[in-house]
Every structure is written in structure tokens, then in C-alpha cells.
Amino acid sequence: MRKTDFAFWTFLTMTGLAAVTTVLNVSQTLSATGQNSELYRQLDLFGDVLERVRSDYVEKPDDTQLIENAINGMLAALDPHSAYLSPKHFRDMQVQTRGEFGGLGIEVTMENGVVKVVAPIDDTPAFKAGVQANDLITHLDNEQIVGLTLEQAVEKMRGPVNTPITLTVVRKGKDDPFDIKVVRDVIRINAVKARAEGDVAYVKVTTFNEQTHANLVKSIDTLKKQIGKDLKGYIIDLRNNPGGLLDQAIAVSDDFLERGAIVLTKGRNNEETQRSQARPGDITDGKKVAVLINGGSASASEIVAGALQDHKRATVIGTRSFGKGSVQTIIPLGANGAIRLTTARYYTPSNRSIQAKGIDPDVIVEQELPEELKAKPSPDRTRGEASLRGHLRNPDGKKDAGKDAKDGKDAKDDKDAGKEKEQSGSSAYVPKEPEKDTQLQYALRFVRGLPTETATPAQPAAGSEEKKSVPN
């Protein structure tokens, strides 16, 4: 049962006309009072440059593109996570956070210019129509895929529910390509994958969308019944989980906690500080819990790991997480898309910021790398928040950090600010085979109460060969 719902995405409705009206009103007010004269001198400069480009550039520019690029430049200069979302990108983001869309139900990647099926999702239109893993899709409704990007091909396969699409498929063992007609339906992205590892319940959370909390509760309930009285405990795998909705991270943390704070968010002003609290009820009945993290664990997944670690409800195993400790608010702009703006930092229950630092595991276990990856010249090491250009400083890194901040932002030119606290990311490599997964095997022994080997020494990881896969 959902107990806490602390909104990560704040939706503020504002049409393009209303935005223009607001700007004009503010302009008149400030001009009348003589305030912010420097700001409006700069706005005049922007207007002069815009008009000069429109009138004198060698080719006639697209006015809309000019303004969008200017907005993008302004937001990108703030931090790596603030950005302008075009109407299309805003729709895509909404699909991602909802966790459902109209589509076929296959996970795909791109190979040699055509779409390759990684796997059909059980009980979806593609699965029922007979699409199989390793099928190569060459045409969509008789139009060639060659020349399209993976994202463009996926967009064509998605569409309104109950509309048909014909896939031309090349399959190993068949001499000629053949067509499969599939009727689109509602596809739900399962953010939680679970299985029994003998007497241990293993739950992997891949993202935090609107379905995550409900899917987690359902998966744990199923594993309880499947394993029965022999159940020793749980492994919650948050490795390579990039984050998502804050309310879902809070709900998932609450599933394991009986009481206490889960996360604090602090904006520019003190009155913007908010705290979320756990309510009674532990769906794991107090059994042992291990949480796996690595350099690809970011944002919402770091909230869960930090909350369970601070309350000593779980033992965190793996390598240091990414270190994204900021909250982004999505502000819709009517028909003009939206902006994603960093509006707050979040803190763990013990009031520590993981911004540009990450969560340090209780037990460091480096992943064993295959020889072919060790030989790669470029290590597979997530850069981490601290290495992103223009990132927010960790406010705990220096006693006076932020004292010289301008307009509510940390003084980025302070070379010493937070330097002793900030750290780059760690390895994000995870083997596909469970028996080769050093971190998973350590966690299994830990949960079972068996002797655990000493954690392997830190070593650089090598480049991952995994191909990008997209569900559609």
C-alpha cells in the first residue's frame, strides 16, 4: 500500500501567452522602479544581437530555432541537469515517467543498420504475434529501416492503441524475409524484475517510474509465497539505476522502514525545506536486506540506498554511487514544451548531501572484470557527477561553501570549495551471468549468513560492449 507520495515533478501550468504577459508586466514594474537596470541592459543586448542575426546572417535563420537555442544555452549554463524540453522531448519524458505507452512490447537494439529484437515482453502484442529474440526487423509498413536511428525506428513502432503495423522480419533458419502484423496495445515498462536465488529474494529495480512502488510490492509478495518459510532475506539491486521520480524513491524506501526521515529537500530559501517521513509497515517483515549499488546508481536510487543505510535497515554493498543530489522540477510551458530546472538539493536522513560525492557502500566489493575488458584502453568508469562540467558543489565540502554564492548558486570558481569531499564515479560494469557477478555473489553469502571473502581491491574497469536497448 502506498504510504508516502512526495512529488518529484512539480507541474506549474503556464501558456506561452501567459509567460510573455508575465515577462512584460515584470519588465514594466522593474523599469518603473529603476531596479535591476543591469539585467535589463543585458536583455537589450540580447535583443540587439537577435535582430542583427535575423537581418544580416548569410542565410535566413529560423526564429524559433534561434530562441530555443538561446533558452538551451541559458539553462545549460546553470548545471548539467537543467534544460529546455521541446514539445516532443516533453512528451517522451512523460511516457518514460508514466511507464506505459502504446506500442508492440519488444526490447530492441540496432545492428548493422536494422533493428534487432533483444526479447519480446511476455503477454504483449509482439509476443502473441510470434516475434522472437534475435529477429531482424528490416521494414516497418513496407518502409526500409536503413537510414533511421534507433530512436526514430522506435518512434515509428510506437503509436495509438489498437492501430496495426506490419514488421518485415529476417529470422535465422528461414530463407526469405516474412511479414508479421502486430496491433499496438498499452505496454507497461516493468521497472522491477525479481527472482528467487534459492532461499534469497533478488529484486532488481531498473528505474523509478510511476509503476515502481506497486511492482516492487507485488514482486516481494510473490517471492514470499514462492520461497516460503526458508526465506533468508532480500537483495535490492540498484546498480545502473539512473533514478527517476522522487515520490517513488520515497515510497520504495518507506516499504522497508518503520519510522524516521527518508529524505530532506532544501531549496534556495529555508522555508522551502521539506522532509518526508516513513510510516509503520515493513513489507520484508524485518528480514535481512542487502542493497547493491555502483557508479551507475544515481539520484532516486541514491535516495533509497542513503535512507536504508542511515537507518541501518540495510547493508549497502558494491562501489560508490554516481553522486547526483539535486532535484529537478518540470515546468510546462503550454504548447511550447517545458523546462527542467534544478530547484533543490536533497539530503539523506542524517543530513548529508551526496551531491558530487555519492553514497559510499558499507562493504566495498569491486566487480571482477573479464580479460577482454581489462585490455581496453578506455576504462568503463562512470564519470560521476563531480566530473560533469558546471555541476553544483557539495555544500558539505567546506565550512564556508556557498558563502560567496551569487544569485543562490555556489561559487564555482572557488577552487577549494568541496574539493576534499567530491569524488569521481566508480565502475558500472555488471556481468550478465549471475555466477560471474562478484557483487551479487557476495550479497548472497552475506544475506545467508555465510563467511564472506574480503572485498577485492579497487581496479579500473574497462569499456562496456553492451548495446543500447529500448523497449517499445
Any idea which residues carry the catalytic annotation?
299, 310, 324
φ/ψ bin of 288: left (φ > 0), alpha (ψ from -120 to 50), beta (otherwise): beta
Residue in 303, 260, 292 with CA at minimum distance from that of residue 278: 260
**Beta bridge partners of residue 192, listed in sequence order:** 205
Residue 113, all three cell numbers: 543498420
CA distance 460 to 47: 50
**Beta bridge partners of residue 204, listed in sequence order:** 193, 237
- Please give the order of strands across the beta sheet that includes 233-237: 192-197, 200-205, 233-237, 288-293, 315-318, 363-364
CA distance 388 to 424: 9
DSSP 8-state assignment for residue 208 = B
**307-334 b/e with 16+ CB inside 10 Å = b?**
bbbbbebbbbbbbbbbbbbbbbbbbbbe
Residue in 258, 261, 262 with CA at minimum distance from that of residue 280: 258
**Beta bridge partners of residue 202, listed in sequence order:** 195, 235
CA distance 324 to 357: 8
Residue in 302, 292, 193 with CA at minimum distance from that of residue 242: 302
